[in-house]
Every structure is written in structure tokens, then in C-alpha cells.
Amino acid sequence: MRKMGKALLAAGMVVAFSSLAVPNASAYERCSTGRYCIYSGFNGSGSICQVIPEHHDVTAQCLWTGTNNAKSVKNMTTSQVYFYGGTNFTQFRGSTASGGQGNLQGSYKIRSVGL
């Protein structure tokens, strides 16, 4: 019985260590092809809002964007996407190249996105 317990403990440690060695999928991978994704957390974490560019009021689709600052973005479209702090493409904040992703300052909201 004692040998069996040690064997189980050793097997459990191998499983534990091997699961630590396997990296988690990137949080950014939640963004679907053809979408521009806005995240409430850094590094693609937190709540996600997936929009099709040329969206004049992101808050209408994702309520959290009206109260929480955007912390990171990912562009899964084939075009450069421009993002704005106001609805109807006002208050330009920046842009993301096709396939680009990254953290923002985290000090503003994204209310519209355009091409």
C-alpha cells in the first residue's frame, strides 16, 4: 500500500508539473476573424467586445465599453482600424494595423471604430 501511495504521488507530481509547462492559449485568440476586438483588461484579458469596423456606437453593442476603459485591442480584419473615444468617429485615439494587437494606455474608452 505504501509503494502504491508513493507511485500515485509521483504520478500526480508529473501531471502537475507537465500541466504547468503547457502554456495557456493567448487571451487575444478569443478574437474572431474579421472582427476588431476591445478588451477591458491588459493583454487581451477581461471582457471582450467584438465589432465589425465602421461601427459608429460600440456601446450599443457592448454596454461595458460605456463605463470601462479599454485596456487592449486586437485587429483580426484585413485593414488598418482607427478607434475613437466618441461615438460617430469623434475624438480620435489611435489605430491598429491589420493583425495587430497590444495594450493601450487604459485611460480612455473606445466608443467607435472605423476603417
In a domain, residue 68? The reply is yes
Q: pTM (2 decimals)?
A: 0.76
In a domain, residue 81? The reply is yes
In a domain, residue 90? The reply is yes
* Residue range of the domain that includes 73: 29-114
For Cα atoms 106, 20, 14, give the angle at the middle one, nearest 5 degrees. Answer: 170
Q: Per-residue confidence of the chain (115 residues) as pLDDT tens digits?
A: 445 444 433 433 333 333 333 334 578 889 999 999 999 999 999 999 999 888 899 999 999 999 999 999 999 999 999 999 999 999 999 999 999 999 999 999 999 999 8
CATH code for the domain in which residue 39 is found: 2.60.20.10
Total domain count, the chain: 1
